[in-house]
Amino acid sequence: MTECSQETFAFTAHFSRRVEAGFTAGRISSDGGAILLREADRKIGLLRRLEGCFVDRRHPKRIVHRVREMLAQRIFGIAMGYEDLNDHEQLRTDPLVALLSGKSDLEEDLAGKSTLNRLELVGRSERYHKIDYSAEAIDRLLVDLYLQSHPQPPEEVVLDLDATDIPLYGHQPERFFHGYYDSYCYLPLYIFAGDQLLGVRLRPSNQDASAGSLYGGEPDRGTTPYPLARSPDRAPGRFGLLPGRDHGLVRSQSSRLPLRLGAQRALVPDHSGVDGASPSSARVEWQAGPLLYRVCLPHLEQLVEGAPGGRQSRVPGKRGESALCRDLSPTEEWPAQNLYEKLYCARGDMENRIKEQLHLFADRLSTAQMASNQLRLYFSALAYTLVEALRRLALRGTDWAEAQVDTLRIKLFKIGTLVRVSVRRVFLSMSSAYPWKSLFTHVFRVLRC
């Protein structure tokens, strides 16, 4: 490409006025609003604690880009909409990104694509790869962030579990064809509690959707501040009935939802005296056609007679209490319509949370190692955790309280900003034409108080 020295560009005139443009405004960033994410991170301590999930074996005197700086650069970049490592070849010179990343010298370049690539490509020769991560530590971090966001124990914790497909277009490891999605894909498992992400696990697609969900995201009894909170699970029909967990509702037999509830009822017999089980009974409500289960502590299976078409329906009965969770509310407190509309239908909102993961580029899993792809999945999950914290802490009660991450990116983070760096301060001169100044001011005040 021919190098051009042109400084002024003349465009079509506007009535009697000439229209000219030039790159003369100085160091302007297009992501000035992302400084709010930096304040949200200070609130929850995500990046500070995430650094402890990595092991850096590089020589301390030869380090140019610290692990925490690279993690911040990658996670903030995803939140701002820069999904590929190639994007950082241009972002590395952006002083605002340097500010977000914690670089002491804002005039110094950040890590380029090759350096960030070495951060992600785990499992290679120790000579070339000296930074590793602990998946268990990151899993614990996600759960700890959730627990610490609730100073008082919630009355009920509803866990939403679901799997989704991530199509593969190369020859990544553990690549299998999935008949339902009609493509080669991965099948990651997501666990949410409301809008907050509790865990994400990358899995090949040659297994059941519920594989690995038994222990995923379950907090340790010794560390959780509310070990006896009621914890029903909501999961789609393909999850079946997971043993050893408290379940809210599980739909089976068909992907179609019932049109009418409460048409028929069956009561699981009392299991008192069976293998030392406590005297109690569990109730399940269902209707002809697709079955809608309300399941209490599925430790013991019983066959319920009289199912539609003469079938026998296998449903769990109740046997005492689990280690972490008490019994769910009695069925009498949940009329059939409320049980479906208030509890189960709320599970559909998790589809929006998975959609937000895709807006944060969770489908960019093209490396040649599963551990590296898992790390990329973590980066997208952590970027979501950061944006969700901002939304939960600072946007509650506003028009954007339920805005998805791509909306917040466009309306709140994408602000043209002139960055001025002096000896005593960094001044971000934002566009005077920004239309949501009052909301920006509100978010700032909440995060800085």
Residue 435: name the closest of 402, 399, 386 by CA: 399
What token pair was written down for 200?
A: 């994400």
**Residue 108, number of CB atoms within 10 A of its CB:** 13
> How is residue 290 annotated by DSSP?
S
Per-residue CA distances from 350 to 140, 163, 334 (Å):
21, 11, 22
What token pair was written down for 351?
A: 């589809």
Residue 433: inside a domain, yes or no?
A: yes
Task: Tell how far CA 138 is from the center of its chain.
Answer: 13
**Residue 432, number of CB atoms within 10 A of its CB:** 7
Residue 341: inside a domain, yes or no?
A: no
Q: Hey, what amino acid is at 402?
A: E
Backbone angles phi, psi at 72, to 5 degrees: -65, -40
Residues 36 and 412 sit within 8 Å (Cβ to Cβ)? yes
Residues 184 and 167 sit within 8 Å (Cβ to Cβ)? yes
Helix 370-394, helix 135-148: angle, nearest 10: 10
What token pair was written down for 247?
A: 């379940």
> How is residue 242 annotated by DSSP?
-
Helix (H, G, I), strand (E, B) or coil at 16: coil
Helix (H, G, I), strand (E, B) or coil at 422: coil
Residues 327 and 229 sit within 8 Å (Cβ to Cβ)? no
Dump the DSSP string for 92-148: TT-HHHHHHHT-S-TTS----HHHHHHHH--SS-TTT--EEE-HHHHHHHHHHHHHH
Residues 67 and 51 sit within 8 Å (Cβ to Cβ)? yes
Helix (H, G, I), strand (E, B) or coil at 316: strand
Between CA 359 and CA 420 the distance in angstroms is 31
Strand bridging mode 189-193 / 196-201 = antiparallel
- How many structural domains does the chain have? 1
Residue 216: name the closest of 198, 230, 231, 228 by CA: 198
Residues 212 and 201 sit within 8 Å (Cβ to Cβ)? yes
What token pair was written down for 353?
A: 């949370």
User: What is the residue range of 48's domain?
Assistant: 27-134+399-448
Residues 221 and 194 sit within 8 Å (Cβ to Cβ)? no
pLDDT in tens, the chain (449 residues): 666 677 899 999 999 999 999 988 888 999 999 999 999 999 999 999 999 999 999 999 999 999 999 999 999 999 999 999 999 999 999 999 999 999 999 999 999 999 999 999 887 777 778 899 999 999 999 999 998 998 887 777 778 888 999 999 989 999 999 999 999 999 999 999 889 999 999 999 998 887 776 544 444 443 444 333 444 556 565 554 444 443 333 333 322 222 222 333 333 333 333 343 333 333 333 233 232 333 222 322 333 333 344 444 443 333 333 333 333 333 445 677 877 777 777 778 888 999 999 999 999 999 999 999 999 999 999 999 999 999 999 999 999 999 999 999 999 999 999 999 999 999 999 999 999 999 999 999 999 97
Tokens 């340097």 sit on residue: 98
Residue 163: inside a domain, yes or no?
A: no
